[in-house]
């Protein structure tokens, strides 16, 4: 446990920053007028709630003297600072741009033995070389230079027109987006210089832009297609995000690339090596993160009070909230009956949560026919003994396995019990979609913004990554994830195999289903029309590591699902539930 | 008439009574009777009777079995949600409570057969026992072995038992993959107009002459026969509107024989009834009350379908509008509608012939969440933060069935929705928020 915690503190810098970048894209235009005077760390905190604003104000008192920085500067500042500290980093430009392949590549390189070479290293050659470090340094210097004038300019903007500033803030991201789409991914040096040049040109262009759209907009407004009343009211920066969306989705052309990770020929790391490689990296803001953590800790007693008053506490924000909730558990719930649910765990089911509640917390022996019976029993037991308080702590209530309608309504029923208290954390950006009004009234959430900036070390450890080698059998969530992208017929074929395997699970001499037999069964179920289609389908399964084939003694192919029986059973249950 | 029902096994006057109770079904009843044979004779193991709704299947079976006092069990497959209920009902009506209580908690088919055999060895059948299964089409949804077993029940239990299946669906849709014992098929044809007239005229009002009621039925059929041939529905309408028909008579304005005036009086009334009562817009009780009150026009009362106005929160309305736009506009045209500076889009390029007019006919198309939100932000007047409340309003709209979620695969990552409301509904909604939705619809460009 403690080891895992340690690993979390030291883990993947890249992962975190890309997350920030994505989050920024979403958030930028929502922070109205507040971003101008915020410190560099707290920049990220500024979402929308008054709580966040308060937190930021506090932080500024703590003595963050970074002065006024806009989004762009902040990112750049981060980039350069890190470079100075000898860490390879994703610079501001790459946060704004949308370049999946490149990023993945740089991650791979970072994680490999080149990880510690200083400077921004975005080379795309498959052979690791140290050469480009020199040009990139100059690039960094450029950035350092460009930073000072910007800051001056920015101060001007803030003082005069905050609106224009906001405009400026959003437009570069459009520009860089489109740029990165157009430019084929080539050498890192060019890219790097491009980025700097772009940023410099933005400044000029933006200055023009900030004026130019203004003049036509007045003239245009009458001729616009929208209802005039609407037009005049709409604020200038809101549509820019919307427009960005429509611009991006305007053409139906789908750009695909055949530059896959496979072409890199770099061997995949296994999990241990990755952790080991990343262990040596201390977080550069560990002190501030600790301060944030301590600040959130101060609210614990408030949470306890609110829980007693019948609310459920929901913790949201950037960064892993696991440590915080764990801290809460240790400090506040030490004497109480409590149950911790790891929602991010890929094989968690509603049944296991309810079983844990009835067996461990309520010490009930025996089984229940349905989950609703079980909930009925729990609510009855808690009603009968009003002095009994049970605390339910859910890390990632929006976890992949807990998202389902049934699971959430069951949790809602539990949360509405007066002496069962629920504390949960949430991470998905669309997470509120899970609850409709009725469920929200059941949960009775109090939303607490707790931005921790801590790494999702444990939460992401279960996830599939293209860069990391998979170890062991597939978990339930990855199984469902893979299967959901397949056609219904393919799912049917797989289910057929799963059912057959489950029927034979007690038979130790079972070696799998022979291809001919399988083909016969699929034909009968109208799933395939020729053995060629089945072969193609099986190849796809094999690519996803869903099945294993083995040549039997008689030279016949035998097919097996490489997942253990209990997972398969859960899988079938889930599929039928849908 | 009764001559068709000649049968050796039964007394004459009983058959006569039977014949009286089922007008226009003598041929079918006679056929059934000859199939059933004399009471002690073995009958065909299974008979499948099919015909349209209200063509007298259940009625004929019921009257025959009741009047001729044959041992029978009538089971409605709608009621029997589990096979246990079915078995219990059959045993109950053949052998009494004792037999039914022998069934285990969740009986299987073999339990049923075992207990049946055991019971019928104690009380062997002197007459053919009949099991009538109403709405037999539901048997297809039960265990796969139930229907084939029932069709061969005579063989299985070695008793003189006949299964009669009643259904509106043809036998071809019943046949299991593996085949089964084929039942005897018997078709009940629809009633013709004359037959309907004859049957409906039977339940005349005692205070009026038969000719008068018959002329009323004639008028009623003249209006309704083109849309409805359902005997029960017509009978209900006849009963409902008769008092209106008699009204001028009670007032003394016309005589019974003055058919033309009566017809002129009732005809618009019947037309109105077709639009309201027949579609169940207005309940029968309301209709009767409306007839009592002279001054109130029968169209004045708003029917069920007129209550399409739903009060929604402000943002929910816009979310629904955005969903409607996303569902019925091609994504290609979003730039044109929601972008200020969309550049030059030629009208000729923009309007594609085949796409034009078809969107509303083809129904709503699915759209992803981010498109919904983008359109939402662009149609709503002021700035909206994407709060949890907005998101939960989307899911609430799904719960209210104003939106539907397509493909339950992914609840969070990229959910897809469809808009499930009609054009009228969305127009009413957008009027309340002063939004001109027609301007934004591709189909009305």
DSSP letters of B274-315?
A: HHHTTTTSS-HHHHHHHHH-SSS-TTTS--GGG-------HH
Put simply, the answer to whether A434 touches B412 (Cβ < 8 Å) is: yes
Query: What confidence score (pLDDT) does residue A177 get?
Result: 38
CB of A213 less than 8 A from some CB of B: yes
* Closest chain B residue to A316, measured at CA: B388
Asked whether residue A570 carries a pLDDT value surpassing 90, the answer given is: no
DSSP state of B160: S
Judging contacts by C-beta atoms under 8 Å, the chain B residues touching residue A431 are 391, 412
Taking the C-alpha atoms of residue A522 and residue A528, their distance in angstroms, rounded to an integer, is: 6
Asked whether residue A445 carries a pLDDT value surpassing 70, the answer given is: yes
Query: Shortest CB distance from B381 goes to which of A230, A403, A404?
Result: A230
Query: What confidence score (pLDDT) does residue A464 get?
Result: 64
Judging contacts by C-beta atoms under 8 Å, the chain A residues touching residue B408 are 578
Query: Shortest CB distance from A435 goes to which of B370, B392, B436?
Result: B392
Query: What confidence score (pLDDT) does residue A75 get?
Result: 43
Asked whether the beta carbons of A510 and A471 are under 8 A apart, the reply is no
- The percentage of residues in chain A with a pLDDT greater than 70, rounded to a whole number, is 53
Average pLDDT over residues A20-37: 44
Asked whether the beta carbons of A563 and A547 are under 8 A apart, the reply is no
Taking the C-alpha atoms of residue B223 and residue A361, their distance in angstroms, rounded to an integer, is: 70
Cα of A337 vs its chain's centroid, Å: 31
Query: What confidence score (pLDDT) does residue A252 get?
Result: 61
Query: Shortest CB distance from B377 goes to which of A238, A403, A447?
Result: A238
Taking the C-alpha atoms of residue B96 and residue B88, their distance in angstroms, rounded to an integer, is: 10
Put simply, the answer to whether B412 touches A403 (Cβ < 8 Å) is: yes
Average pLDDT over residues A341-350: 88
Taking the C-alpha atoms of residue A150 and residue A165, their distance in angstroms, rounded to an integer, is: 12
Query: What confidence score (pLDDT) does residue A215 get?
Result: 39
User: A425 pairs with which residues across the strands?
Assistant: A315
Query: Shortest CB distance from B411 goes to which of A30, A48, A433?
Result: A433
For A236-292, the pLDDT digits (tens) are: 455 577 778 888 876 666 667 777 666 777 666 676 777 777 777 777 888 999 999
Asked whether the beta carbons of A52 and A45 are under 8 A apart, the reply is yes
Judging contacts by C-beta atoms under 8 Å, the chain A residues touching residue B399 are 436-438
Total Cβ atoms within 10 A of residue A443: 22
Asked whether residue A578 carries a pLDDT value surpassing 80, the answer given is: no
Instruction: Give the pTM.
Output: 0.69
Structure tokens belonging to residue A201? 């040109």
**Which site among A437, A438, A442 would you substitute to test the B interface, given the most B Cβ atoms closer than 10 Å to its Cβ?**
A437
Helix (H, G, I), strand (E, B) or coil at B187: strand
Query: What confidence score (pLDDT) does residue A36 get?
Result: 39
Structure tokens belonging to residue A85? 């500290």
* Closest chain A residue to B336, measured at CA: A225
Put simply, the answer to whether B334 touches A434 (Cβ < 8 Å) is: no
Could you tell me the pLDDT band of residue A557, with boundaries at 50, 70 and 90? confident
What is the strand order of the sheet A337-342 is part of? A337-342, A390-395, A420-425, A312-316, A445-449
Query: Shortest CB distance from B411 goes to which of A32, A230, A434?
Result: A434
**Across chain B, what does the average pLDDT equal?**
86
| Residue A181 phi, psi (nearest 5) | -70, -40
Put simply, the answer to whether B410 touches A245 (Cβ < 8 Å) is: no
Judging contacts by C-beta atoms under 8 Å, the chain B residues touching residue A435 are 392, 395
Q: Is B24 exposed, middle or buried (0-12, 13-18, 19+ CB in 10 A)?
A: middle
Structure tokens belonging to residue A275? 């952790």
Query: What confidence score (pLDDT) does residue A554 get?
Result: 75
Taking the C-alpha atoms of residue A488 and residue A481, their distance in angstroms, rounded to an integer, is: 14
Which residues, including other chains, have CB under 8 Å from residue B248's CB and lie 6 or more apart?
B254, B261, B262, B265
- Rounded to whole angstroms, the maximal C-alpha distance in chain B is 92
Q: CA A119 → CA A87, A101, A123, B231, distances in Å?
A: 7, 20, 11, 88
Query: What confidence score (pLDDT) does residue A440 get?
Result: 93
Over the range B86-111, which residues count as b (16 or more CB within 10 Å of their CB) and which as e? bbbbbbbbbbeeebbeebeeebeeeb
What is the Cα Rg of chain A in Å?
27
Query: What confidence score (pLDDT) does residue B315 get?
Result: 93
State the alpha helices, DSSP H only, in A212-285.
214-220, 228-233, 238-250, 271-279
Query: What confidence score (pLDDT) does residue B296 get?
Result: 56
- Looking at A79-83, A272-276, A405-409, which range is the least confident one? A79-83
Taking the C-alpha atoms of residue B168 and residue A104, their distance in angstroms, rounded to an integer, is: 63
CB pairs under 8 A between A and B: 110
Put simply, the answer to whether A436 touches B392 (Cβ < 8 Å) is: yes
Judging contacts by C-beta atoms under 8 Å, the chain A residues touching residue B395 are 433-436
Helix (H, G, I), strand (E, B) or coil at A543: helix
For A151-176, the pLDDT digits (tens) are: 444 333 433 334 444 444 444 433 33
pLDDT-flagged residues of chain B (< 50): 1-2
Put simply, the answer to whether B392 touches A437 (Cβ < 8 Å) is: yes
Query: What confidence score (pLDDT) does residue A8 get?
Result: 46
Average pLDDT over residues A54-82: 44
CB of A220 less than 8 A from some CB of B: yes
Strands (E), B52-128: 72-76
Over the range B264-281, which residues count as b (16 or more CB within 10 Å of their CB) and which as e? ebbeebbebbbebbbeeb
Put simply, the answer to whether A433 touches B412 (Cβ < 8 Å) is: yes
- Looking at A38-47, A317-326, A536-545, B28-37, which range is the least confident one? A38-47
Structure tokens belonging to residue A364? 């009930």
Judging contacts by C-beta atoms under 8 Å, the chain A residues touching residue B391 are 430-433
- Listed residue (B189, B213, B188) closest to B200, CA to CA: B213
More confident position, A524 or A181: A524
- Listed residue (A165, A154, A150) closest to A210, CA to CA: A165
Put simply, the answer to whether B340 touches A239 (Cβ < 8 Å) is: yes
* Closest chain B residue to A482, measured at CA: B409
Query: What confidence score (pLDDT) does residue B330 get?
Result: 87
First to last CA, chain A: 35
Query: Shortest CB distance from A249 goes to which of B331, B411, B439?
Result: B331
More confident position, A341 or B345: A341
Judging contacts by C-beta atoms under 8 Å, the chain A residues touching residue B410 are 484
Judging contacts by C-beta atoms under 8 Å, the chain A residues touching residue B392 are 432-433, 435-437, 440
Average pLDDT over residues A72-96: 42
Judging contacts by C-beta atoms under 8 Å, the chain B residues touching residue A428 are 412-413
Query: Shortest CB distance from A398 goes to which of B331, B377, B412?
Result: B412
């Amino acid at each position: 446990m403690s080891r895992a915690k340690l690993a979390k503190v030291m883990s993947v810098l890249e992962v975190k920053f890309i997350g920030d970048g994505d989050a920024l894209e979403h958030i930028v235009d929502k922070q109205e007028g507040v971003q101008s005077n915020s410190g560099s760390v707290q920049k990220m905190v500024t979402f929308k709630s008054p709580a966040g604003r308060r937190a930021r104000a506090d932080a500024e008192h703590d003595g963050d003297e970074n002065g006024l920085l806009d989004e762009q500067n902040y990112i750049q500042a981060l980039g350069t600072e890190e470079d100075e500290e000898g860490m390879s980093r994703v610079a501001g430009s790459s946060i704004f741009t949308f370049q999946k392949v490149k990023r993945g590549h740089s991650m791979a390189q970072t994680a490999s033995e080149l990880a510690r070479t200083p400077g921004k290293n975005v080379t795309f050659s498959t052979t690791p070389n140290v050469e480009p470090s020199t040009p990139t340094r100059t690039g960094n210097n450029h950035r350092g230079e460009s930073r000072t004038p910007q800051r001056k300019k920015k101060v001007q903007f803030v003082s005069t027109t905050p609106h224009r500033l906001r405009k400026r803030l959003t437009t570069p991201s459009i520009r860089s987006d489109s740029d990165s789409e157009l430019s084929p991914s080539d050498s890192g040096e060019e890219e790097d210089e491009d980025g700097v040049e772009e940023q410099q040109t933005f400044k000029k262009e933006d200055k023009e832009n900030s004026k130019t759209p203004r003049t036509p907009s007045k003239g245009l407004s009458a001729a616009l297609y929208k209802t005039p009343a609407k037009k005049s009211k709409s604020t200038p920066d809101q549509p820019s995000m919307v427009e960005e969306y429509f611009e991006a989705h305007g053409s139906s052309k789908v750009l695909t690339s055949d530059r896959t990770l496979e072409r890199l020929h770099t061997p995949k790391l296994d999990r241990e090596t990755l952790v080991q490689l990343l262990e040596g990296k201390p977080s550069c803001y560990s002190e501030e993160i600790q301060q944030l953590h301590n600040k959130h800790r101060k609210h614990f007693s408030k949470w306890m009070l609110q829980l007693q008053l019948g609310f459920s506490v929901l913790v949201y924000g950037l960064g892993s909230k696991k440590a915080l909730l764990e801290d809460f558990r240790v400090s506040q719930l030490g004497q109480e009956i409590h149950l911790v649910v790891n929602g991010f765990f890929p094989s968690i089911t509603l049944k296991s949560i309810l079983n844990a509640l009835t067996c461990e917390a309520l010490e009930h022996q025996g089984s229940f026919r349905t989950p609703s019976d079980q909930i009925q029993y729990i609510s009855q037991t808690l009603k009968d003994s009003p002095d009994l308080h049970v605390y339910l702590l859910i890390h990632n209530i929006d976890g992949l396995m807990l998202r389902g309608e049934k699971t959430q309504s069951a949790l809602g029923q539990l949360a509405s019990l007066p002496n069962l208290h629920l504390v949960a954390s949430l991470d998905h950006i669309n997470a509120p979609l899970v609850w409709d009004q009725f469920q929200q009234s059941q949960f009775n959430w109090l939303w607490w913004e707790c931005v921790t900036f801590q790494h999702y070390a444990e939460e992401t450890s279960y996830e599939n990554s293209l860069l990391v080698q998979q170890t062991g059998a597939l978990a339930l969530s990855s199984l469902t994830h893979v299967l959901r992208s397949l056609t219904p017929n393919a799912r049917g074929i797989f289910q057929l195999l799963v059912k057959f395997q489950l029927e034979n699970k007690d038979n130790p001499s079972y070696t799998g289903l022979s291809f001919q037999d399988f083909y016969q069964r699929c034909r009968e179920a109208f799933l395939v029309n020729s053995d060629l289609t089945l072969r193609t389908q099986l190849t796809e399964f094999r690519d996803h590591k869903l099945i294993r084939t083995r040549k039997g003694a008689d030279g016949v192919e035998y097919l097996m699902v490489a997942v253990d029986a209990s997972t398969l059973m859960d899988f079938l249950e889930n599929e039928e539930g849908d | 008439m009764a001559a068709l029902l000649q049968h050796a096994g039964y007394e004459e006057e009983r058959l006569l009574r039977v014949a009286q109770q089922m007008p226009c079904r003598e041929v079918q009843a006679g056929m059934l009777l000859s199939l059933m044979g004399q009471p002690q004779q073995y009958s065909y193991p299974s008979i499948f009777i099919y015909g349209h709704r209200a063509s007298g299947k259940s009625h004929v079976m019921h009257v025959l079995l009741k009047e001729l006092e044959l041992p029978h069990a009538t089971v409605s497959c709608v009621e029997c949600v589990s096979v246990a209920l079915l078995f219990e009902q059959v045993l109950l009506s053949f052998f009494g409570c004792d037999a039914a209580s022998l069934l285990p908690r969740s009986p299987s088919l073999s339990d049923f057969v075992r207990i049946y055999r055991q019971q019928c060895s104690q009380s062997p059948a002197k007459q053919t026992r009949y099991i009538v299964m109403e709405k037999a089409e539901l048997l297809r949804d039960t265990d796969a072995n139930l229907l084939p077993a029932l069709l061969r029940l005579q063989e299985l239990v070695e008793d003189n038992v006949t299964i009669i299946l009643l259904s509106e669906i043809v036998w071809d849709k019943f046949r299991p993959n593996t085949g089964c014992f084929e039942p005897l098929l018997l078709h009940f044809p629809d009633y013709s107009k004359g037959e309907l007239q004859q049957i409906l005229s039977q339940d005349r009002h005692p205070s009026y002459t038969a000719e008068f009621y018959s002329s009323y039925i004639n008028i009623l059929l003249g209006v309704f026969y083109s849309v409805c041939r359902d005997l029960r529905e017509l009978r209900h309408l006849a009963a409902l509107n008769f008092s209106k028909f008699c009204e001028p008579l009670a007032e003394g304005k016309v005589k019974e024989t003055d058919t033309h005036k009566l017809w002129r009086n009732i005809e618009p009334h019947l037309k109105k009834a077709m639009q309201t009562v027949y579609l169940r817009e207005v309940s029968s009780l309301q209709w009767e009350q409306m007839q009592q009150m002279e001054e109130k026009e029968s169209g004045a009362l708003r029917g069920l379908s007129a209550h399409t106005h739903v009060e929604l929160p402000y943002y929910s309305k816009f979310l629904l509008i955005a969903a409607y736009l996303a569902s019925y506009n091609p994504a290609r045209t979003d730039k044109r509608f929601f972008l200020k500076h969309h550049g030059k889009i030629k009208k000729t390029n923009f309007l594609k012939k085949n796409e034009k007019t078809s969107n509303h006919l083809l129904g709503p198309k699915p759209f992803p969440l981010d498109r919904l939100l983008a359109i939402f932000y662009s149609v709503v007047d002021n700035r909206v933060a994407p709060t949890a409340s907005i998101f939960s309003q989307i899911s609430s709209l799904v719960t209210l069935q104003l939106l539907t979620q397509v493909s339950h695969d992914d609840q969070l990552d990229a959910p897809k929705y469809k808009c499930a409301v009609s054009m009228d509904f969305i127009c009413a909604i957008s009027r309340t928020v002063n939004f001109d939705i027609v301007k934004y619809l591709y189909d009305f460009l």
